[in-house]
Structure 1
Amino acid sequence: MTKIKKVTLKNGKVRYEINVYLGINTVTGRKKRTTRRYKTKHEAQIGLRQLQLQGYENKVGTLHRYTFKDVYELWMENHQHEVRETTLASKRSKFKARILPKFGHLLIKDITRVYCQEVVNEWAKEMEAFQDYVIQTRLVFQYARKIDIIENDPMEFISLPRKVEENLFQIEKRNFFTKEELQLFFKCLEEEGDVLNLCLFRILAFTGIRKGEALALHWNDIDWTKRELFIQKTLVRVRSKHILHRPKTKASYRKINIDTRTLEILGHWKAKQQELYEAMGFKIAIDELQPVFTRFHQQKYEMTYMRESTPNDKLVAFFGRHPNLHRIKVHDFRHTHASLLFETGASLKDVQARLGHSDIKTTMDIYTHVTQTAREKLADQFQNYIDF
């Protein structure tokens, strides 16, 4: 088995060297080897797999060398340039958590359809979204087939287990506020007197923007004259760091009109934020560089973007202080906004544009869960039209 050797050059720099045996050249009858050096050990590992693959394709290597993990690493080397950082982090997490423990150590040519079916059946029992793990696993098998390491994808004809619904008329857990519940929520929130909390949840409930979009807002994203909010970035967490990223889709770039009361609350928070910064000895940045929602980073001793988990923590704590309120999650303010828009008579296209959905099917899925008030209006409209 080829080893990666750490070498120190004359200039003191460290390199990682591999000397790979690629088999017997069928033309000359001589042994074929090659030596390469790389800056990092990870690059050397990738280079080793690529050279072994090259040897196989030239008929001077052997197929049995390739494990599922070997092919995964080769596939990932190409695939990582095709997707967003957040998507890449999610994919790697899935492979690390469940896919590689089941397949990584196995020789890819020896993986059978029966084994794949057993793994999928196990995943189906453990989690709801098991199908995405199947999709990711198949991408590696399809890549192996594409580069002639295997002839067939062993997952191609497996069966996806389906859970039988015990009761087709289960009572759904409502993931949005009614108009009256939303009013009560903000009444309690205003009574607490926390301007930051009021501003944060007002933005989420009255614009329907995503949590990451709200946390990425800078003050220059607000047009105070036109009463518009410009959504052009989102805050994401990648490898334990919060970074600004482009929005989810092209449709996510949008301008949203905001009501006068929300604009007024934003103005109050802007003034309060200025006071807090001065009290802590910090200088407020210009609007283009100043985030709307910030936190104090104790280790760095600076103000920075609010953590992605903070709105969740704030909402849980709030419901703990008001246990009689209907409970929803942070993302459910988006559903609340959509549901109430539909109650006002807004069209699917209008709601789609405001929420930044690229696919109207996503908007329609929300529409199917409209509030009881909307259902009652629909029944009344039908009766009034028929009139008997």
Structure 2
Amino acid sequence: MHFKQINKTTWRCIADGPVDPFTGKRKQIARRGKSKGEAKERVEKAIEEIKKSHSFDSKVKFNKFSDQWLNLYRLKGNKETTVEYRAYCITVINKYIAQLKMTEITTLNLQRVLNDLFEKGTAYHTLRGIHNAAKMIFNYAKEVGVIGVNPVEAVFVPKKKLTLEETNGEDVSKLYLETDELKVFLNTVDAHRNIMNRTLIYTIAFTGMRPGEAIA
């Protein structure tokens, strides 16, 4: 809060108001009083009245709240393709928790959503997008006072553990030398004149070090 004395009998108090649920912005609230305390009291009363007018029904369900959030997201000037992608993510989440009240939705609820999608083979980048959309929606719900804690904060995106073949896109057998192949290779190395290079290659061959580690 900021106070300013206008004259001997008048004080002005200014404070940030609550987040407007339709614009996502805050407005400064100013009131005057015959004293510092009176000006402050009037500002606080005005803020409380604004909060009541902006507040959502405590029984608001996820599908209704997410629709309002999406409209706000569009009004902020985001690209239409991005808005459409957020809408798609909301559609997916709605299949699980559309009729749940915002105040009832827990971290466990949301984690189950991602886990089930993961088990059904949903791509990792799609899971990330759904997670991000949910996080933004519940962050907004927290900002406007619908919930006290964002349940998405503790939710993680499941990730498949890739095999070496999947990581490199090739047969693992092609990445390593068999014993007889290693012997032929090291015989060729022994003929190399530079002892430092020979030492380096032997170190890599018998310790499994990466080339960069061995050079260091």
Higher helix share: 2
**RCO greater where, 1 or 2, for CA within 8 Å and sep 6 or more?**
2
Using the size of structure 1 for normalisation, the TM-score is 0.28
Using the size of structure 2 for normalisation, the TM-score is 0.48
